[in-house]
Amino acid sequence: ETGVTQSPTHLIKTRGQQVTLRCSSQSGHNTVSWYQQALGQGPQFIFQYYREEENGRGNFPPRFSGLQFPNYSSELNVNALELDDSALYLCASSLPLAGGETQYFGPGTRLLVL
C-alpha cells in the first residue's frame, strides 16, 4: 500500500451535477497530481498542486478545478458533469527530487455519470 487514500471509492452522478473527490497524500509528500483514466486507457494528467498552488495543468476544461490544503490533502471538483466524465479518477502524491519523481497512486474513485 502506498499510504495515499481517496474517497469515495465509487460514485454515481447525473449529467449536469457537480462532484468533489478527495485525496490524502502520503506522509511528507507536498505535491499531489490528479489523473483521469478511462476504461482501457492510461491515466491522463489533469493538474498538479504543489504547496497549495496549481503547478501544471493538462488539457482539461476549467470545469475541472482543484484545491490543496495546508496538510497537503487535495480535492478535485468537477462541475456540469458530462457522460464522458465517467472514469477512474486517480490522485498521486510525490516529493519532487532533482533527477526524477516517483508518483504514489491512491486506489482511485470510480465515477459513473448517467
Partner 1 sequence: SQKIEQNSEALNIQEGKTATLTCNYTNYSPAYLQWYRQDPGRGPVFLLLIRENEKEKRKERLKVTFDTTLKQSLFHITASQPADSATYLCALDISSDNDMRFGAGTRLTVKP
Query: Applying CB under 8 A, which residues contact partner 1?
Result: 2, 4, 33, 35, 40-45, 48, 50, 55-58, 90, 92, 99-108, 110
**Nearest of 102, 98, 93, 97 to residue 29 by alpha carbon:** 93
User: Which residue lies nearer to partner 1 by CB, 70 or 98?
Assistant: 98
User: Which residue lies nearer to partner 1 by CB, 19 or 103?
Assistant: 103
Sign of the C-alpha dihedral computed for residues 84, 90, 93 and 96 taken in this order: negative
**Nearest of 55, 4, 54, 65 to residue 29 by alpha carbon:** 4
In whole angstroms, how close is the CB of 37 to partner 1 at the nearest point? Answer: 8
Cis peptide upstream of residue 43 (ω within 30 degrees of 0) = no
71: Cβ contacts below 8 Å, ≥ 6 apart: none
In whole angstroms, how close is the CB of 16 to partner 1 at the nearest point? Answer: 27
In whole angstroms, how close is the CB of 8 to partner 1 at the nearest point? Answer: 14
User: Which residue lies nearer to partner 1 by CB, 33 or 74?
Assistant: 33
